[in-house]
Structures are given as structure tokens and as C-alpha cells.
Structure 1
């Protein structure tokens, strides 16, 4: 599974196809499945449901896609008319009222930032832009180290986002090097909102796959939905299969989504706030939880922190990290859920 960061790259659709196949073949005698898909948030979003009439399903799926587009329109970091871009244009230190998706999402982003000791950072926007990872084509070489250091000196990787409530929720950026970029959490939030829309339209059993950020409703023929965690170095193979129960979400962050090679080294879009450069602790990190929003943010945090980040996430949270040597590490809760399939990578 491949998460969306920044401008939500289309590359995540490759893993989505494999995951959908696993989900649909989970039961030998499954009820008829209906599917609808749309290109939303810069990736292929697929909704699969069972036990529904065609017209009712497509009406529900259409409403879910519209909700996801609304979130994209508000949170696009380079769209001049988005709420996020308007916030970034405000003077540093100026308190700005929040509404819509920003109001709902920023408190949750800050919560994960604190809990992860800044491994997840929602305001690396200037660094992401400097590295050229907004959208393809990606650069052929890294930026000058002096330019990265200059942004770090201006607080790009620090905790530079503050919230307060005065009638409405207000926020401000406190350092000149900081700019909001919610790519590490926005797609998870969109999946959660789409799930709520489906439920409101009477959908009881469905799986939303937003290019790799997944959340389940109900079951698939009375059994859990089953999804695969891909091998980060072979997109055609899975490491393991994991059951998803009603309401659960699973998200993966990997170094294979947006990257370029320079002088034999891979440079990817998942930046370490401490260095301003691509994180070097993992190839891939997966988090399973009750909401896609937090799973999305924590998968980024674990990618940056590596397996030691399990201590902050908590033993009861299912999580899997593939380190830079290709070794698998799993939290106790994830070990209990994994149906390991890989012959190339040893089970954790």
C-alpha cells in the first residue's frame, strides 16, 4: 500500500490493483461485488461493496468521491485558491481562522507530531518544494546542502505550528521556513470522510482503496476484508496478507513512490524533519488502526523513525517496518495479524 504525500502521486495506483485483487478473492463464495472508481486526490480511488443494488451503490460511491474532491480542493499545497495555500500566504505569526478540512485536520496532525516526537511534521512544505517532490517530473539531483540548511535554520523542521481557540479555531506558523504540507495525512482523512459518507448512504460492507490508503466497512461475505502489504522492492509480490475488520484502516509509506536516483543513491520524498533530507531508517512502514487519518500520519512517522518508533506508537498498535537492509520488524499486535507470504524477506 502506498500513501499519498504532497500532491498525491498517481504511482500509488499500481499497488492498489494488487490489493483490490486480494480483497476480492478473500472468500471462495463471496457475494457479488460492485466497484466504482475515480481519479481523485491525484490517484486511482476504488470503492468495492457487496450486497447492494447497482443504483444505490453508484449513488453512494459518487457522493464519497465528491467528498474526497472537496478535501483535495481545500488541501492542495500548490493550488492558489486552496485553503491551505491561503494559510501559507499569511504573515508568519498571524493568527488565521480555520474552517472546513483544515479545522478538522490540523489538531489531529499536531497530536501525531507531538506523540511521534516530530517524526511526523505537517509543515515541511518549503523543504518538499525545494527537493522538487510536488509532482513529476522529479529532479535529477538533490538541492544544494546550503539551501536545505538555510531552511532548517529558519525553522522548517522545527515545531512551528500553533493552535488556539478564540470563538473559532485559529492557527499560525511561527517560523519563516515553515509551510503547511498535509500530504502525509490528508489522504487518510479523505478516506475516513468517504467512509462516513458511504455509511450515511446505507453502505454496510465496503472497502475504500485510495491508491493504497484503505479502510473497511463491515465484511466481505461474512469474513474480514483481506489486503496485501507489498514488497517494497518488487511491486508484483506481497510480503503478507492482513485481515481488516469493520472500520479498520491500513496505510503504508514507502521510498518507492516519488524518488529519483543520483550517483547511485535513491532520493525519495519522505523527509526527515531533523535533517531536511530523505529519511534513511526504512524502506517501508505500515500502520493499521481504527482511522485512516492517524494511520496515514503514523506510517510517515514510523518511516522516519524506523523500528524504534514502535515505542512511541505503542505495543497495542499493529505496525510493520522494513528497514533499509530489507529486514522486517513488527509490533506484537501486528505479528498476531500477519499471514506472511514472502520467501525473499524473512518474517519478523
Structure 2
């Protein structure tokens, strides 16, 4: 599901989130591709793509009114921009940047309070596999990587960074967010973009566009139907990253999120990906892509991030225990594993 633009961006700017980082980019203003056409059932299909959140974001909106489809899409893009400014950890002055710099934040935006609360919930649900405080480890890996992909690290480097990881040292309440340890930092890349896509979807529905599709890199939300009685069809890119698809899923009022590691690694051995295990900074799901289908993108986003640091057997067991969720694991060798109801519920 990734694309060449996103891959280039990630390599150039060192994205270290589970998907593309929640950051603004100058291309965002320049890249605005839109097209509207009338389809067989007399509705208009408005398709528009912009570069936001570090990736291409495409919205497909279906409506009997051309103007209504365009207007709803515009409001959805504005919502994405508004929320991205809250969760952006790269730009100075944003709430998350301030939290990471000072270790505390008061006057918390309700959206940030909600996402931080859900991040804490997924931390406990996954027994620590999903951990928003893993950023010091990721920064340490990026800082110590040389151009050849070798890591020049001592055991003390690992110990110091790993000692700052642990979401149980984050205090979240409506009056403020704070860290119990100095120099801790959070990244919401593994849950924030999913939340933003969900809110953009809500904006489309609230403005009369109940049938729509949003594609934001590896995070996809499908609402309603692509045509009467027909679900949306979404292809999942194969783990090799060569552009082929490993599966096609049927989505109606559901979401899919994919984590993969074929490009986002920090060492020549490709043992340390962008979603490392919090215990030893090693990624369990090496050379694979892992896709999760769930009712919302935020849920699929967080679950795929958590499952990605588990071994395949643990990952399938973990996802299978979640309500209304299914997963597919695709190895670079072509071997596929999936949860028991994957094919019956979403696979083709």
C-alpha cells in the first residue's frame, strides 16, 4: 500500500514511526490532484489526493451532487490538517513537541487526550507491545546508524534508551499529561494517523457523503459501498515492496492498516526495524508485512503496530482475541499466515 513518494520521503527524512510520521511537508501545498466524473448509477465520484501526514492522502467521495462531494472532501482535508498540527512531534510549538521537550503538558486538547488515553489502553492490552514511549530507542538507532547501515552502539547505549521506555510512566488526565522519568518522549505515529483518518471519515459522513474511501499510505477507511450492494475492494501490497499485491480485501464500514519492515530498518542485518520490541530493540516480524482489518483505522493502526513486534504465532493469537478484527501476515518468501476468519470475512 506504500508508494514511491512515501518511500522517498521516509528514506530522506528518516521516518521512524510505524507508518509515515505525522508531519507537514512543502509538497502538501503544491500537490492537489482532483478529478470528478459521473459513474453508472448517476452519482458523481470525486477523487482528490494531497500530500499530508508524510504520505499521499486520497479521498474518493460518492454523491449525487458534484458540489456536495467536492465540499465534503475539502472539509475532510481541512480536518486532517487541523489534527496533524496537534499530533506533529517534529515541528516546534505543537502540543506533542512541547510534551516531549518539557515532560509535561497542561491545557490538553480533547483530541490529544483521547488518543493518549487509547495509546495507554493498547499498551496494557498488548502487554507492552504497543508503547508510545519507544521514541528514545528509535532516535538512538537513527543517530547511531552510519551510511552503510551499520550500528555503532554499546550496551550502555541500549540500556540508557531502553530505560526511558515504558508507558506505565506516563500520566494522562484531562488536566494534563506528564512523564514520571526525565528525558522520556512519545510518538503517536502508530495510532495518531489512524485517529485522524477516522475523523476525516466522520467529516465526510456528517456532510452527506456516506459512501467514501480514504487511503493514507498503509491506513485505509472504507465507508458505505462503492456501488449498490458492492463493498470497497482494497489491494494490499506484497511485502517485497515491488508493487504487486499479496491480497485483496472487501471492506464496508471497516478499516485496514498495514505495518511492514522491508524498507524501514536501521542496521545492515535488518534486525532492527521502525517498530522494535521494547525489551531489546529487535523486531520480531522481520521481512514481512502485517495487515489488520478492524472497525476503525485507529484500532487497526494500533493493533498492527503491536502485532508487528510479536512473532507470527503470537501476532495471530493476539489479533484473533480482539473483537471484529482479522489479520494477514505475508512473508517476503510468499508464505502467508492469517487469522482463522480472514478469508471468510474480508479476503477474496
Instruction: Indicate the TM-score class for this superposition, using the shorter chain for normalisation.
Output: 0.7 to 0.9
Match in the other structure for 2:335: 327
Say whether residues 1:119 and 2:129 are aligned partners: yes
Check the 8 A contact 1:318/1:333 in 2, yes or no: yes
Per the TM alignment, residue 125 of structure 1 is displaced from its structure 2 partner at its CA by 1.6
CA distance in 1, matches of 2:165, 2:118: 20
CA distance in 1, matches of 2:189, 2:21: 4
Check the 8 A contact 2:255/2:297 in 1, yes or no: yes
For structure 1, the residue ranges without an aligned partner over 5 or more in a row are 11-23, 341-348
Match in the other structure for 1:215: 221
Alignment equivalent of 1:162, drawn from 171, 175, 184: 171
Q: Which has the higher contact order (CA 8 A, sep 6+)?
A: 1
Alignment equivalent of 1:90, drawn from 94, 102, 105: 102
Alignment equivalent of 1:237, drawn from 235, 244, 250: 244
Alignment equivalent of 1:225, drawn from 209, 212, 232: 232
CA distance in 1, matches of 2:250, 2:259: 19
Q: 1:52 to 1:266 in 2, by over 3 A?
A: farther
Q: How many aligned residue pairs are there?
A: 314
CA distance in 2, matches of 1:143, 1:179: 22
CA distance in 1, matches of 2:218, 2:301: 10
CA distance in 1, matches of 2:249, 2:276: 28
Say whether residues 1:285 and 2:285 are aligned partners: no
Q: 1:339 to 1:277 in 2, by over 3 A?
A: closer
Check the 8 A contact 2:59/2:214 in 1, yes or no: yes
Say whether residues 1:140 and 2:149 are aligned partners: yes
Matches within 5 A, 1:22-41: 32-41=44-53
CA distance in 2, matches of 1:34, 1:158: 41
Q: 1:30 to 1:170 in 2, by over 3 A?
A: same
Matches within 5 A, 1:1-348: 1-2=1-2, 4-7=19-22, 32-91=44-103, 96-132=106-142, 140-146=149-155, 147-152=157-162, 154-157=163-166, 159-164=168-173, 168-176=174-182, 178-222=184-228, 223-245=230-252, 247-259=253-265, 262=268, 265=270, 267-280=272-285, 283-307=288-312, 308-315=314-321, 316=323, 317-323=325-331, 327-339=335-347
Check the 8 A contact 1:35/1:49 in 2, yes or no: yes
SS in 1 for 2:123: helix
Q: 1:101 to 1:280 in 2, by over 3 A?
A: same
CA distance in 1, matches of 2:283, 2:82: 30
Q: TM-score, normalised by structure 1?
A: 0.80
CA deviations over 1:16-65 (Å, ceiling 9, x no partner): xxxxxxxx9xx998955220111111111000122342222221111111
Q: 1:139 to 1:292 in 2, by over 3 A?
A: farther
| RMSD (Å), alpha carbons | 2.9
For structure 2, the residue ranges without an aligned partner over 5 or more in a row are 3-17, 26-36
CA distance in 1, matches of 2:292, 2:63: 29
CA distance in 2, matches of 1:298, 1:288: 9
CA distance in 2, matches of 1:80, 1:325: 42
Check the 8 A contact 2:255/2:300 in 1, yes or no: yes
Q: 1:312 to 1:77 in 2, by over 3 A?
A: same
Check the 8 A contact 1:306/1:321 in 2, yes or no: no
Over 6 Å off, 4+ runs: 27-30
